[in-house]
Amino acid sequence: MEYTTLGQTGRRVSRLGFGGATAGLRNYLKPFDPESPEDVDPIIAAIHRAHELGVNYYDTAAGYGEGASERIFGRGLEGIDPDSIFLATKVGPSAKGVVRPSLEASLRNLGRDWIDLLQLHGTTFSDEQMGYILDDDGLLAELERAREEGLIRYVGLTYEGHDPNLFQLVETGRFDVAQIQYNFLFQHPYDARRTAGVMFSLEAQGMGIVTMRTTTSGALQRWIRLVNPQNDHDYTPDLIQFQLSNPLIDVALIGMRSVERVEENVALVNDLDGRIDLDEVHTYYV
């Protein structure tokens, strides 16, 4: 397993992260019921196998099936030394005062006394949300108090957009980790030709960089099927290697619902010869 250091946390983490959206959201990407043992048991087995193969980064959220994903992760990680893994979850920024009750529920779901990382769970944040995140008694202050109490070790955020509010949050210098959307289709966070994009700001702040929607949530594959129905190439491994080829990314999250998928993805991470030269991808003139 390939490992790296997560920003300035000093924590050694696997570059492959086990994403929790597919473990909690009903019918996400494929038919799935988070309350069905037939659907859930393979995920429990996948978590066990991932840990056996060296995956130590696990990311879930209270909002994935109203705690269903957290409960599944709690079962899958039961009995594993909490200091041997990096466990992250999220709280929705719906109003002030939500951090503590959400965190307490997450800890019960996960069967833990503390977790490594609690993230503000955003797609994007409105100006109103930015206000009650950054107010003196706002959500960021609540996260920091939870860290002071030892209920969490690090403070983070997740963001799918790429707008001024994201840069404002990064520039506070008060977050340890950011989980952002970046993949072959959505490359705005990393424009190496111009040294532009939020990844460079995250790196400058010493923050850990975790990416979501690694395989484009199937969007690229669906587009290819629409424009070239005869194309039978599986682009999923290529999309994962594209992600891992980026030198600034610490962890690429992938949802995995089976032992087979875990083993395939771990093999990809270990295939260093499969990495690509991103500069060559973006060459204009030859």
DSSP states of 147-186: HHTTSEEEEEEEESS-SHHHHHHHHTS--SEEEEE-SSS-
User: Could you tell me the CA-to-CA distances from 162 to 119, 123, 252, 262 in Å, in that order?
Assistant: 17, 10, 18, 30
Question: 128: which 2 tokens?
Answer: 């109103």
List the CATH code of the domain at 3-281: 3.20.20.100
**Ranges 31-35, 130-134, 208-212, 267-271, most confident:** 208-212
State the Cα–Cα distance between residues 181 and 161, nearest whole angstrom.
Answer: 7
Question: Where in the chain are the domains?
Answer: 3-281
Question: 95: which 2 tokens?
Answer: 């109003």
pLDDT digits (tens, 9 = 90+) for 194-236: 889 999 999 999 999 999 999 998 899 999 999 999 998 999 9
Percent of the chain with pLDDT over 70: 100
pLDDT digits (tens, 9 = 90+) for 147-168: 999 999 999 999 999 999 999 9
Work out the burial of residue 204: count CB atoms within 10 Å of its CB; fewer than 13 is exposed, 13-18 middle, 19 or more buried. exposed
pTM listed for this prediction: 0.93
Contact by Cβ (8 Å): 1, 14: yes
